Amino acid sequence: MSAPARSPLEALFRAPVLIAVLLAGEALALIMSLASNEAGTRLIQFGLASLGIQWVCLATLCALYLLRRPLTRLSPPFLAWVCLALLLCMTLLVASAAWTVFGISMHPAEGRASFVLRMLAIAIVVGFLTMLTYQNYWNTRQLAVRAKQAELEALQARIRPHFLFNTLNTGAALVHQRPEEAERLLLDLSDLFRAALAGPREISLADELALVRRYLEIEGLRFGDRLRVEWQVPAALPDLSVPALSIQPLVENAIRHGVEPVATGGDVHLQVATDGDWLEVTVANALPSAPVRPTTGHQVGLNAVRARIQAMTHGRGSVRTTTAEGRYTAVIRIPLTP
């Protein structure tokens, strides 16, 4: 999955786009040479046109790259006009240099002024066509980003109702018997749903683990001694961002499928570790040894977490699951470097 670009210039400096620009320049040079009336010199004219066009393209791209930081502050329509102006300036410089230094022209009888004006006219036409093409490309890309964002929001929304209903039932049962614990439950619940309702976003690993601890406190009130949690977290956590509520759904699945169906409860193991250039977050639970009522599986929360991890890491991160020796294990892998 490619990274969503925040500015049209970011998308411009991708390998496929750069290759397309160079190939389009070669196609333009071929058209110009084929349009010539002098059939015997078309190969030479193609070479000269290709050299000039590629110099214009590369010079324009270099100028845009050097000016990318101030240009990213501009609105896309105004940025397009600035790019066209840079293209015309580079065309003027290359055409003037070609005539002055080498005496190059596609037509020997052509004067300097007419040659430069003809090159500028071609650049204007090509520039406008490129602007229209790239505008469609950018709009399509933005629509794809919005569609992916909507998909992630829909996936995240699917993991809320089950937990909400269980927590409210637990709170209702504690109101009269243990009001202090009911108050703590509602405070923890408010923190969790504040994070959930904020939508897909990134938070620090430490904040995400804090949300997991609040969730486990709530479930601890619900299950009591039936829930046994083991933490293996280093004292110094990596300074890394993760999607909000990305670890909590895996812990929720572990409780739902490894603790809730069993009368004696079960254990949940949560480990945070680094493996080279990767962060690994492992959530494991024991599978019930005796037959229990069927459940819907781990897939709802798992699919939501997997999609959000891949979106945040641009396809580098992963969420893998294994079942072995009576335990179900989910492992999140996130690169430590961007």
**Are 191 and 321 in a shared domain?**
yes
**Are 135 and 170 in a shared domain?**
no
Checking if the pLDDT of 67 tops 80, the result is yes
In a domain? residue 1? no
pLDDT digits (tens, 9 = 90+) for 174-221: 777 777 777 777 777 777 777 666 656 788 999 999 889 988 988 888
Domain count, the chain: 2
**Are 266 and 322 in a shared domain?**
yes
- Distance between CA 17 and CA 61 in Å, rounded? 11
**Are 85 and 218 in a shared domain?**
no
In a domain? residue 3? no
The rounded mean pLDDT for the chain is 79
Residue that terminates a domain, selected from 102, 136, 154: 154
Say what the pLDDT of residue 159 is. Answer: 47
Tell me which of 228 and 54 has the higher pLDDT. Answer: 228
Sort residue 194 into left (φ over 0), alpha (ψ -120 to 50) or beta.
alpha
Sort residue 305 into left (φ over 0), alpha (ψ -120 to 50) or beta.
alpha
pLDDT digits (tens, 9 = 90+) for 130-185: 777 777 777 777 677 677 666 656 655 554 555 667 677 777 777 777 777 777 77
Residue that terminates a domain, selected from 101, 123, 154: 154
In a domain? residue 40? yes
Residue that terminates a domain, selected from 117, 136, 154: 154
Residue 285 phi, psi dihedral angles, 5° rounding: -145, 150
Most confident of 60-64, 234-238, 267-271: 267-271
Q: Which of 139, 24, 44, 7 is nearest to 87 (CA)?
A: 24
Could you list the residue range(s) of the whole structural domain that residue 144 is in? 8-154
In a domain? residue 205? yes
What does the pLDDT average to over 210-237?
89
Say what the pLDDT of residue 322 is. Answer: 93
- Amino acid residing at 50: S
Residue 246: CATH number of its domain: 3.30.565.10
In a domain? residue 31? yes
**Are 60 and 94 in a shared domain?**
yes
**Are 115 and 225 in a shared domain?**
no
Sort residue 126 into left (φ over 0), alpha (ψ -120 to 50) or beta.
alpha
- Distance between CA 302 and CA 297 in Å, rounded? 9
In a domain? residue 291? yes
In a domain? residue 285? yes
In a domain? residue 50? yes
**Are 55 and 128 in a shared domain?**
yes
pTM of structure? 0.55
**Are 189 and 234 in a shared domain?**
yes
Say what the pLDDT of residue 328 is. Answer: 93
Say what the pLDDT of residue 229 is. Answer: 95
**Are 308 and 324 in a shared domain?**
yes
Fill in the DSSP letter of residue 242.
Answer: E
**Are 273 and 172 in a shared domain?**
yes
**Are 166 and 304 in a shared domain?**
yes
**Are 126 and 191 in a shared domain?**
no
* Tokens, residue 234: 């280093």
pLDDT digits (tens, 9 = 90+) for 95-122: 887 777 655 554 555 566 777 787 788 8
